[in-house]
Chains A and B, each alone.
Chain A
Amino acid sequence: MSKFAVSAALTAAVALMPAVADAQTPKRGGELRFAVSAEPPDYDCHAATSFAFIHPVRPHYNTLLKFDPANYPKVVGDLAESWEQSEDGLTYTFKLKQNVKFHDGTPLTSEDVKASYERIRNPQGGARSIRQAVYEDIDSIETPDEHTVVFKLKKPNASMLTNFASPWDCIYSAAKLKEDPKFPERNILGTGPFKFVEHAAGSHWVGERFEDYHVEGRPYLDSYRAIFITNTAARVNALQAGEVLSEFRGHSPADRDKLVNALGDKVEVFESPWICSLVVTFNTEKKPFDDARVRRALSLAIDRWQGAEALSKIALVRHVGGVLRPGFELAATDKDLEQLPGFGRDINAAREEAKKLLAEAGVKDLSFKLMNRNVPMPYTPVGVYLIDQWRQIGITVEHDQPETAAYISNLRSGNFEAGLDFHCDAVDDPNLQLAKYLSADRSPINYSRAKDAKLDELYEAQKGELNVEKRKQILREFEQHALTEAYNIPVVWWHRIIVNWKQIKGWHMSPSHYLNQDLQDVWLDQ
């Protein structure tokens, strides 16, 4: 039996373990040590984008809503006790929990929620917010009493509840923000399960239990210690030696197998589709990529179904999907996908069609550079796979892997022909994931530089559609058009693999490395 087969079997065996673990009586005490592969630059949730921020900082804060750790994508209250949405979708009313305190002992009120959201949607006094666009549909925020917050919208937004559960929207103290709008950049003062103890730059981050936490009996842990380990091998060694008990972003299949082989039943493996995808972006301002036939031909040449299966053995990718994560309730099913250009099961027929399209476009002996990120996992193997796929229809592609800074700069400035781009989000939400495909003058992350009014219209239509089935229909139309025009083409979706020491209980896997990291319900069986 191969190593992969062993680990796959183990994975299947441990898939049910979280449920068993949760049936045990949680124990109080202990320090959870985990590795983080990068370090947050500052402490401000509203200006953060990285898991390197979420993993050490999220346990200090609460958000209005959050995703149910055990039942993603169900939304539950975090600071909100209950909420109501008006029938027209224009008013959201939240009742806050009564007994919530900040770590300095001051009580949380609706003013704190209002001040935090005002800061996100309209930062003042030098504060930064990078999610203003997410809340552009909010017209006003009202606080009729100390424990009620009312959000009034200009127009319906089908993703509004999901937005309120975003892990980035930490609730800050209104009093502190009034004193200094930049207070959260260098200070931690939240209502979360853990108080801030120490951040040793480049080394570690420590939080300790907040005894006045509003959830009875939580958190279970005395403290947690996030240790920054940038080198992958050092991280895996630390995990193997038990110096850390987890790394919550994700491992490659090879590292998973190494750990499982070394530690056997001392560890649990969790696996899930990941809200991250690799997307080929064609620079539509460069010939011949200004021709939809050429772009579509390149999409048709890729055998995604075989590729996903083969690549999953060596890279942290596994799932074939369109513009939304496979498995998400609004995403295309496999049957839907098979009807889309480049997603058919008959690769020989697709490649014949690709050759015809190239001939029709008058393109012979096509050769170009594929710019890829200089990060081995999963970029390099997927880049190599693509080059091989295109070679099979007679196209010569050179693999160009500049450093990340140059890679991002090239994507933004249009200094590339085709690029292997990525797209990661905290939650499944069409408003977020479709941004990659919107017209370039509307979306800062569409590097193809293409403009397409039809896609923009369909985006707005789905955004305001509160009926799930109708929204799905619009999304399918969007997907069909986006993949036919093929400005950006999804190649493969990532697969998240977490290896935890078995002592860790109460932690739940999710399709996002940004979620379930408040550590409120995590405990150590020791």
Chain B
Amino acid sequence: MLRYTINRLLLMIPTLFGVAVLVFVLLRLMPGDIVELRYLMDGGQVSPEVLAQERARLGLDKPLWEQFVDWITGILVGDFGVSMWTGRPVWDEISSRFQLSFQVAIMATILATIIAIPLGTLAALFKDTWIDRLIQVFAIAGLAVPSFWLGMLIILGLLLTFNWIPPLTFKPFYEDPWHNLSQLIWPALAVGYRYSAVATRMTRSTILEVLQEDYIRTARAKGVFERLVVSRHAMRNAMLPVVTVIGLEFAFLIGGLVVTEQVFNLNGIGKLFVETVTRADYTMVQALVMLVATFFIVINFLVDLLYAALDPRIRYR
């Protein structure tokens, strides 16, 4: 297990290096540059000399390989540089948004899990009955409705019914729990619904599959209560793919709530992503992609480790 863990950790290095090369090259292939955007987007009358000075100041006049080496060597010593747009350290920009995105992701995951596992199990146990069909309708609607659209409906519903919208600025839970929850519960609901729909369908299908297994039939033949058959024998095995889905969805939520964060005016990683890509802020986009890629890789790794905990038959070498 230890060897497997070390191997997986070492494998992360070439994977992340590949991501770094890819994002660096792709960004440079995009038309336009941050200096033109910053000074000309609002119609500024800026001379080519000033634009050239600014490019030099940002290091954009250096050869590409030199820019790449500067960036990679910075990463190796934990320095991701400064945002080309604001001049502030990249990690200051990201950390001030990360807390919000992380909390929404956790809230959405809790909501999705609370909804999906009971509903998926019920649907499997009452397969082809009206209960199953009702749950299927709920799940398919969740898949069909984009989160941002549901978010817009929630906002409009709150606005038209209560003449109220969620707070526009973020306060951490420990500072003001009521303000915090009244801002984040709505996006968590909008995102959590789709998330729960995916997990509900996965739970249903895996439980149905597990319920056909010989050991379940044996347990039933031994006279074990149905409740115990399901909760102790079926659920545990059925949870492996569900955990994978939940893990991947969680990783997606960090940085993936691009439109939903715009709709709710959430100052999160997704909104930052859009803004930095639009501004061609290379250092910020590079850092964000690396962050999200690292998050995906780590979550995948943790999910694999969780497999072993859930299923004693799985042993990694």
Residues of A within 8 A of B (CB): 41-42, 49-51, 126, 128-130, 132-133, 185-186, 200-204, 227-231, 233-234, 237-238, 240-244, 276, 402-410, 412, 422-425, 432, 435, 443-445
Contacts of B297 in A (CB 8 A): none
Interchain CB contact under 8 A, B37 and A133: no
23 A–B contact pairs at CB < 8 A? A42-B86, A49-B43, A128-B50, A128-B53, A129-B50, A130-B44, A200-B96, A200-B169, A201-B92, A202-B97, A202-B272, A203-B169, A204-B169, A227-B168, A230-B271, A233-B152, A238-B165, A404-B41, A409-B33, A412-B36, A432-B45, A444-B46, A445-B45
Q: Known: A130-B50, A238-B265, A240-B159. Contact between A227 and B31, CB under 8 A? A: no
Name A263's closest neighbour in chain B (CB-CB).
B163
Interchain CB contact under 8 A, B43 and A186: no
Name A227's closest neighbour in chain B (CB-CB).
B168
Contacts of B159 in A (CB 8 A): 237, 240-241
Residue of B33, B86, B165, B262 touching A405 (CB-CB under 8 A): B33
Contacts of A133 in B (CB 8 A): 45, 47
Interchain CB contact under 8 A, B165 and A241: yes
Contacts of A129 in B (CB 8 A): 50
Please, how many residues of chain B have a CB less than 8 angstroms from a CB on the other chain?
Answer: 51
Contacts of A403 in B (CB 8 A): 32, 278
> Please, how many angstroms separate the alpha-carbon atoms of A404 and B267 in the complex?
22
> Please, how many angstroms separate the alpha-carbon atoms of A229 and B40 in the complex?
21
- Give B158-182 as 1s and 0s: 1 = Cβ < 8 Å from A's Cβ atoms: 0100011101111000000000000
Contacts of A51 in B (CB 8 A): 42
> Please, how many angstroms separate the alpha-carbon atoms of A410 and B33 in the complex?
11
Interchain CB contact under 8 A, B278 and A49: no
Given contacts A234-B262, A406-B32, A408-B41, 11 further A-B contacts (CB under 8 A): A129-B50, A200-B96, A203-B267, A228-B267, A233-B152, A237-B155, A242-B163, A405-B36, A408-B37, A435-B45, A444-B48
> Please, how many angstroms separate the alpha-carbon atoms of A260 and B62 in the complex?
53
Contacts of A412 in B (CB 8 A): 36, 40
Q: Known: A234-B265, A412-B36. Contact between A241 and B163, CB under 8 A? A: yes
A316 to chain B, nearest CB (A): 15
> Please, how many angstroms separate the alpha-carbon atoms of A200 and B168 in the complex?
12
- Give B248-281 as 1s and 0s: 1 = Cβ < 8 Å from A's Cβ atoms: 0000000000000011110100011001001110
A-B residue pairs, 5 tightest by C-beta? A405-B32, A49-B44, A406-B31, A409-B32, A202-B267
Interchain CB contact under 8 A, A231 and B262: yes
Contacts of B39 in A (CB 8 A): 49, 130
Interchain CB contact under 8 A, A405 and B263: no
Is B304 on the interface with A (CB-CB < 8 A)?
no
B212 to chain A, nearest CB (A): 48
Interchain CB contact under 8 A, B265 and A425: no
> Please, how many angstroms separate the alpha-carbon atoms of A407 and B57 in the complex?
24
> Please, how many angstroms separate the alpha-carbon atoms of A242 and B167 in the complex?
11
Interchain CB contact under 8 A, A405 and B278: yes
Interchain CB contact under 8 A, B43 and A425: yes
A201 to chain B, nearest CB (A): 6
B113 to chain A, nearest CB (A): 29
Residue of A237, A407, A423 touching B43 (CB-CB under 8 A): A423
Name B84's closest neighbour in chain A (CB-CB).
A41
Q: Which positions 8-39 of chain B face chain A at CB distance < 8 Å?
A: 30-33, 36-39
> Please, how many angstroms separate the alpha-carbon atoms of A24 and B292 in the complex?
55
Contacts of B296 in A (CB 8 A): none
Is B63 on the interface with A (CB-CB < 8 A)?
no
> Please, how many angstroms separate the alpha-carbon atoms of A130 and B50 in the complex?
7
Residue of B87, B152, B163, B165 touching A41 (CB-CB under 8 A): B87
Interchain CB contact under 8 A, A41 and B86: yes
> Please, how many angstroms separate the alpha-carbon atoms of A21 and B88 in the complex?
42
> Please, how many angstroms separate the alpha-carbon atoms of A229 and B41 in the complex?
18
Interchain CB contact under 8 A, B47 and A405: no
Q: Known: A41-B86, A408-B32. Contact between A227 and B46, CB under 8 A? A: no
Q: Which positions 59-90 of chain B face chain A at CB distance < 8 Å?
A: 85-88
Residue of B46, B165, B167, B265 touching A231 (CB-CB under 8 A): B265
Contacts of B41 in A (CB 8 A): 49-50, 404, 408
> Please, how many angstroms separate the alpha-carbon atoms of A243 and B271 in the complex?
20
> Please, how many angstroms separate the alpha-carbon atoms of A186 and B169 in the complex?
22
B230 to chain A, nearest CB (A): 44
Interchain CB contact under 8 A, A243 and B87: no
> Please, how many angstroms separate the alpha-carbon atoms of A244 and B271 in the complex?
20
Name A126's closest neighbour in chain B (CB-CB).
B57
Contacts of B271 in A (CB 8 A): 202, 230
Contacts of A407 in B (CB 8 A): 32
Interchain CB contact under 8 A, A243 and B168: yes
- Give B134-165 as 1s and 0s: 1 = Cβ < 8 Å from A's Cβ atoms: 00000000000000000010011001000111
Interchain CB contact under 8 A, B45 and A443: yes
B176 to chain A, nearest CB (A): 14
Interchain CB contact under 8 A, A422 and B85: no
Contacts of A42 in B (CB 8 A): 86-87
> Please, how many angstroms separate the alpha-carbon atoms of A129 and B275 in the complex?
25
Interchain CB contact under 8 A, B43 and A408: no
Name B264's closest neighbour in chain A (CB-CB).
A234
Contacts of A41 in B (CB 8 A): 38, 85-87
Contacts of A276 in B (CB 8 A): 43
